[in-house]
Amino acid sequence: MFYGWETATIRDANGLTPRDYYDRLKKVWSADTCAPRMRQDWSPENPTLGQCSITAFLMQDIYGGKVFGVPLPDGNYHCFNIIGDCVFDLTSEQFQGVPLNYTDCPEQSRETHFAKEEKRLRYELLKQRLLTDDEQIDLVAKRLLEEYRSAFLKLANDDSSNDSYCS
């Protein structure tokens, strides 16, 4: 499971947590969305490889917060999210158990990362796949239906105590 999964309980407007998005992203991450320099090593067994920045910025779109980067030995940064006191890294599994230090990391800029057109296009592709995932749409529809039922029942209970509505 990804770094921070135990405390990644924040919810978006649709009631979904980062854990929910992780499950959805596992179905849509691919070699096409992987960083080109890592593509030859990407596999369905390691779907998070090369997906960090585009995933972290996508989570920022959904939850807000900031994207930070763990400095890596090769001079690159591994991106992760901080929203309030919730720290999570949906793509940490690509390091296969190698611990990363998530403290005192520099904030990452969307403008800097997306100055590379190929990265921006990978981000757009991932976003489009995530938002059109049938299971994602079904989950949101179910949540809305539950809210509707709950509101209807509350209204019905409130109305039953009001004699002016009785026939």
Helices 18-28 and 117-131, packing angle to 10 deg: 110
In the chain, which stretches have pLDDT less than 70? 133-149, 151-153, 155-156, 158-167
- Give residue 79's pLDDT: 98
Provide the edge-to-edge strand list for the sheet that holds 86-88.
66-71, 77-83, 86-88
Per-domain residue ranges of the chain: 5-161
- Give residue 167's pLDDT: 38
- Give residue 133's pLDDT: 64
Other Cβ atoms closer than 10 A to 105: 18
- Give residue 131's pLDDT: 85
The Cα angle at residue 80 between residues 75 and 86, in degrees rounded to 5: 145
d(CA 12, CA 18): 9
Q: Which helix (H) or strand (E) holds 120?
A: helix 117-131
Q: For strands 86-88 and 77-83, give the pairing.
A: antiparallel
- Give residue 135's pLDDT: 59
Backbone angles phi and psi of 48, in degrees to 5: -80, -10
